[in-house]
């Protein structure tokens, strides 16, 4: 059972069909109804790695979600690793709004960056608030956050966490072998998996309700139902 969200929500929330998050109308703080854990959990890795599976044809109804995850994951990586530059005033306000809105960060350090993927909507500013754990602990799988604000940076339109809890992937004994991750918020891997594969040079075998996936070098492949 997830415990009560840490954030006070005073706005109307309409669930988006086919989306992972919730549209939040008005000036809001990020909803963490999906977020229940505040103590870090360690992602489980299979002790014995099976022979690598071969990619198979991806279900047609999931191909757009995969393209979106790859596009946003690469754009997030580019923004996060770019040399620090002065933001315009609207982006600075948007980042400040995110800092005021997100109240349930996990242990670690966070940095918020504006991201614009190809084909992204032009009527909002998209901010990713990315957490990092100390290197000795491993990779923070979550929680990270995506927050979309109005163009003036003052209002929140959409907010969603990357995971339901605080999850740390321990250092791998064999960095070349994929790390096994269970993901239940969407049928496909998301942009955070793509971003982390690029950021840390790691590959992930991700189990979702739709089957098993491989995320490697920023690319998502489908391994099948089992």
Predicted TM-score (pTM) of the model is 0.77
Quote the CA–CA distance of 169 and 141 in Å, as a whole number: 6
Instruction: Identify whether the C-beta of residue 180 lies closer than 8 Å to the C-beta of residue 45.
Output: yes
Task: Calculate the average pLDDT of the chain.
Answer: 81
Residue-wise pLDDT for 120-168, tens only, equals 889 999 999 999 999 899 999 999 999 999 999 999 999 999 998 999 9
The predicted structure's pLDDT at residue 91: 95
Give the helix ranges, DSSP H, for the chain: 63-81, 89-101, 191-200
Task: Locate 196 and state its tokens.
Answer: 């982390």
Residue-wise pLDDT for 4-60, tens only, equals 333 333 333 333 333 344 333 333 344 443 333 334 555 544 444 555 678 899 999
Which residue, 20, 17, 12, is CA-closest to 159? 20
Quote the CA–CA distance of 207 and 135 in Å, as a whole number: 25
Quote the CA–CA distance of 3 and 33 in Å, as a whole number: 8
Domains in the chain: boundaries: 13-224
């Amino acid at each position: 059972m997830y415990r009560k969200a840490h954030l006070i929500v005073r706005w109307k929330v309409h669930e988006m069909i086919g989306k992972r998050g919730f549209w939040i109308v008005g000036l809001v703080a990020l909803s963490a109804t999906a977020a229940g854990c505040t103590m870090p959990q360690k992602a489980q890795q299979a002790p014995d790695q099976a022979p690598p599976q071969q990619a198979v044809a991806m279900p047609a109804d999931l191909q757009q979600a995969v393209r979106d995850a790859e596009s946003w994951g690469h754009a997030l990586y580019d923004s996060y690793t770019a040399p620090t530059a002065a933001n315009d005033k609207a982006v600075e306000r948007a980042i400040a709004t995110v800092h005021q809105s997100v109240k349930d960060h996990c242990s670690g350090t966070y940095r918020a960056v504006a991201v614009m993927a190809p084909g992204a909507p032009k009527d909002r500013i998209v901010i990713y608030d990315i957490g990092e754990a100390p290197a000795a602990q491993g990779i923070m799988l979550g929680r990270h956050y995506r927050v979309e604000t109005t163009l003036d940076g003052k209002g929140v339109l959409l907010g969603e966490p990357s995971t339901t809890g605080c999850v740390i992937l321990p250092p791998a004994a064999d960095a070349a072998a994929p790390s096994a991750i269970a993901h239940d918020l969407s049928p496909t891997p998301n942009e955070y998996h793509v971003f982390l594969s690029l950021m840390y040079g790691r590959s992930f075998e991700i189990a979702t309700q739709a089957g098993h996936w491989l995320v490697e070098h920023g690319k998502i492949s489908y391994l099948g139902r089992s």
